[in-house]
């Protein structure tokens, strides 16, 4: 395990994790909390059980969630990253379902949205002072 003195961010810093209720992201949240960070997790809609779970495990004030209903919207993460020192962008739109076509078969289109690539350039993250 890496010593906290070698972390890129000091323990106690606020880190945003997108898609915090997802399988991978929830494990990242758990690890960050275990390492002493505060975490703000983004979710599409309120997940009271998620806040309760992390509060019971790590105490009040260590984890909070914030709704980001449409990650593809311009500025979707603006509120979520306020005061954050780091951002772990886990969620990504990989598959979009299209409407049923004349053949009545469901067609899938795979695409990775550009906003996922550009997210690191958009936000100048600075810890709260």
Q: In what order do the strands lie in the sheet with 63-67?
A: 63-67, 38-43, 14-17, 86-88
Q: Report, as ranges of residue numbers, the positions in the chain whose pLDDT lies below 70.
A: 1, 93-129
The CATH number that domain 7-122 falls under is 3.40.50.720
Q: Is 0.85 topped by the overall pTM?
A: no
Q: How many other CB atoms are there within 10 angstroms of residue 91's CB atom?
A: 20
The reported pLDDT for the residue numbered 18 is 94
| Structure-token pair, residue 66 | 């914030």
pLDDT at 8: 86
69: DSSP letter:
S
């Amino acid at each position: 395990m890496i010593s906290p003195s070698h972390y890129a961010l000091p323990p106690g810093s606020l880190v945003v994790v997108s898609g915090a209720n997802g399988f991978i992201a929830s494990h990242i949240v758990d690890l960050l909390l275990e390492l002493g960070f505060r975490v703000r997790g983004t979710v599409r809609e309120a997940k009271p059980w998620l806040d309760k779970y992390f509060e019971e495990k790590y105490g009040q004030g260590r984890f909070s969630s914030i709704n980001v209903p449409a990650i593809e919207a311009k500025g979707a993460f603006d509120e979520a990253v306020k005061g954050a020192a780091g951002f772990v962008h886990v969620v990504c739109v990989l598959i979009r379902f299209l409407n049923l076509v004349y053949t009545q078969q469901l067609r899938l289109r795979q695409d990775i949205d550009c906003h996922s690539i550009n997210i690191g350039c958009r936000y100048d993250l600075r810890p709260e002072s």
